Amino acid sequence: MPIKSFTQKFCIATALLVIGGLTACGGGSSSTTTTNPPPPPKLGQAAAAHHIKVGAAADSFYLSDASYSSILGSEFTQLQAENEMKFATLHPAATTYDFSGGDALVTFAQGHSMAVRGHTLVWHNQVPAWVTSGNYTSPQLSQILQDHITNVMQHYAGKVYAWDVINEAFNDDGTVRDTVWYDQPGIGFAGQGTAYIEQALNWAHTADPNARLIYNDYNDEWMGPKSDAIYAMAQDFKSRNIPLDGIGFQFHVDLSFDNPNALASVASNFQRFAALGLELHITELDLRLSDGSAASLAAQAKLYGELAAICVQQPKCTVFQTWGLTDKYSWIPGFFPGMGWALLWDANYQKKPAYTSVLTALQ
């Protein structure tokens, strides 16, 4: 219909300008009400209705980067130290503890009403040379590990609600990994499978009875030999009341993961662990690409959204955490040469398509 009069033109222009407002034109009285549309929810807000904490691995060194700290403090409801609560950082010498980095992260989290997840107490990496080259006997190593778990967990008691007590203790074929804590020489349970993990969980429970105790690994996301072995351990522990509260699934993946079989396998795997009464934590999600093209970012967004949807659809999935927040500080380029673009914000802190797909899936 042609626009005939100034009044009609004015009304149309006004209607376009007043977003969300109501403008009455023509004949009789007129009133104008303007309401701003509500801002889109942040990731953490969106997921709260599903009782999911949305986390990011963080480093205290980056908190002075204003864009980094602004996004971390507003979008996320949980943080986890990417490195600063590991053995080598916290306990650099036999009688020396350095809580400075971890404490800075806890202070930031408390100031932004965020939960803190602890990572990690028993791992074969980032163990200091004073432990690995100390020629300790198993009884001595046992004392060292128990003291470490006790001191660290008591330092963070009431501040860290969940700990990756054990990290990456299995090989991909489901056998127990040879490590300084297991059998080289180990804390006294060499050749006894998961007995040393059980010991660590018992020590952790004694140190902080309120903390949730998690077993965390990679390549355990789908059904396979590794997740089968972790499942058997979890089933055994639950049947004997060993204090295990949940399983961490790291999800350092690439686009090859985006196929129906893999996604169905993740959902089935989650369900069998959930049936044991365990919490499921997506702990280290990042989705690496070999280029930052629009097509790759769109494919990445699709898979990120699918993984977030799996968590939303599984009631026992209570953590959705990415391994960092910006491509600027991601570990991927350093470990996978030529790859990157793995997180929800690019290196200039612009939201990527994956941000939107995750937000949509979490709502």
Cβ neighbours for 99, distance < 8 A, ≥ 6 positions apart:
90, 155
CB 304 within 8 A of CB 253: no
Instruction: Return the number of the residue (46 or 230) whose C-beta is nearest ligand G3I.
Output: 230
Angle of CA points 43, 359, 81, to nearest 5°: 40
User: What is the closest distance, in whole angstroms, from the C-beta atom of residue 190 to ligand G3I in the complex?
Assistant: 24
**Tokens 């809580």, residue located:** 99
Instruction: Return the number of the residue (77 or 89) whose C-beta is nearest ligand G3I.
Output: 89
Instruction: Return the number of the residue (282 or 359) whose C-beta is nearest ligand G3I.
Output: 282
**Tokens 């990756």, residue located:** 164
User: What is the closest distance, in whole angstroms, from the C-beta atom of residue 288 to ligand G3I in the complex?
Assistant: 11
Instruction: Return the number of the residue (117 or 361) whose C-beta is nearest ligand G3I.
Output: 117
User: What is the closest distance, in whole angstroms, from the C-beta atom of residue 38 to ligand G3I in the complex?
Assistant: 36
Residues in the chain: 363
Where b means 16+ CB within 10 Å and e means fewer, 96-125 reads eeebebbebbbebbeeeebbbbbbbbbbbe
**Tokens 């609560």, residue located:** 85
Going from the C-alpha of 127 to that of each of 97, 169, 258, the distances in angstroms are 13, 14, 34
Going from the C-alpha of 344 to that of each of 24, 208, 240, 302, 326, the distances in angstroms are 42, 34, 41, 12, 6
User: What is the closest distance, in whole angstroms, from the C-beta atom of residue 40 to ligand G3I in the complex?
Assistant: 29
Active site residues: 168, 284
- What is the H or E stretch that residue 333 is in? helix 332-335
User: What is the closest distance, in whole angstroms, from the C-beta atom of residue 331 to ligand G3I in the complex?
Assistant: 4
User: What is the closest distance, in whole angstroms, from the C-beta atom of residue 333 to ligand G3I in the complex?
Assistant: 11
First-to-final CA distance of the chain: 40
Residue nearest to ligand G3I (CB): 331
Instruction: Return the number of the residue (199 or 321) whose C-beta is nearest ligand G3I.
Output: 321
Instruction: Return the number of the residue (285 or 312) whose C-beta is nearest ligand G3I.
Output: 285
Which residues sit at the interface with ligand G3I, rule CB under 6 A? 82-83, 125-126, 167, 250, 284, 331
